[in-house]
Amino acid sequence: MKKPDIIGVTKPVVFLLALLPALKLATELISAFYFQAPLDLGANPAQTIEHITGDWCINFLMLTLLITPARRLTHWNWLIRYRRMFGLFAFFYGVLHILAYLAFDKVFRFNDIIQDIFQRPYITVGMAALLLMLPLAITSTRGWIRRLGKQWTNLHKLVYVSATLGVVHYWWLVKRDITWPLIYALILFILLGSRFWFHLHKASRKQQ
């Protein structure tokens, strides 16, 4: 008797859980605009939406980076099957974050957006982080993996740069309390440091 595919069963559940923050925001906005329900997003709803989508973008970037060290540590190779999903959700929430900024802060005024990119460093690095995620999202399919071959792995190392820029963006964005940017920076340091240690350990074993 064939064993049930546990990943095939749990993946849709994980997908829905990952989508919940966006669904909650969408429900709030639809209720407010179409049914005149009170908007439960704080005193500054636009800023709340930007913060929620930005936080979840970084959360999924960290989860994406966590997969490989967790797999090496636990030998649970099935974890790798969640990496693409988490990476795409990071891009999804990153796009929502940028759209919220463009719509609520700048009302899609092109000149103001360009001025912000060049004059406000945290906007510059935030835009750069999302732009670096774009080719990763596009080439995340099996077809692109086959086409690019070994180059695919090198290309997807851009996620390290994107995650770093995302943390810098968050750090420069906050004005007083840097607790959460500091926590994300520490998590990122551990995740990237574990990769560096693994490669050093692998190289030393080859030399023996």
Residue 63: partners with Cβ closer than 8 Å, 6 or more residues away: 86, 90
Distance CA 173, CA 57 (A): 15
What are the CA-CA distances from residue 201 to residues 148, 193, 195 (Å)?
28, 12, 10
Nearest to 52 by CA among 20, 88, 85: 20
pLDDT, residue 4, reads 56
Q: What is the pLDDT along the chain (208 residues), one digit of tens a residue?
A: 455 567 777 899 999 999 999 999 999 888 877 777 677 787 788 899 999 999 999 999 999 999 999 999 998 999 999 999 999 999 999 999 999 999 998 899 999 999 999 999 999 999 999 999 999 999 999 999 999 988 998 999 999 999 999 999 999 998 788 999 999 999 999 999 998 888 787 766 666 5
Cβ-Cβ contacts under 8 Å for 123 (sequence gap 6 or more): 101, 116, 117
For the chain, the domains span 6-207
Model pTM score: 0.91
Tell me the longest C-alpha to C-alpha distance in the chain.
Answer: 70
Map residue 38 onto helix, strand or coil. Answer: coil
Coil vs helix vs strand at 3:
coil
CA distances from 27 to 39, 45, 48, 95, 208 (A): 10, 13, 15, 18, 59
**184 burial via Cβ count (<10 Å: 0-12, 13-18, 19+):** buried
Long-range contacts of 105-113 (CB under 8 A, 24+ apart): 105/46, 105/50
pLDDT at 136: 95
3-state secondary structure 134-157: HHHHHCCCHHHHHHHCHHHHHHCC
| 188 neighbors 175 (Cβ within 8 angstroms) | no
**Angle at Cα 42 formed by Cα 38 and Cα 48, nearest 5°?**
115
Instruction: Provide the CA 79 distance to its chain's centre, in angstroms.
Output: 17
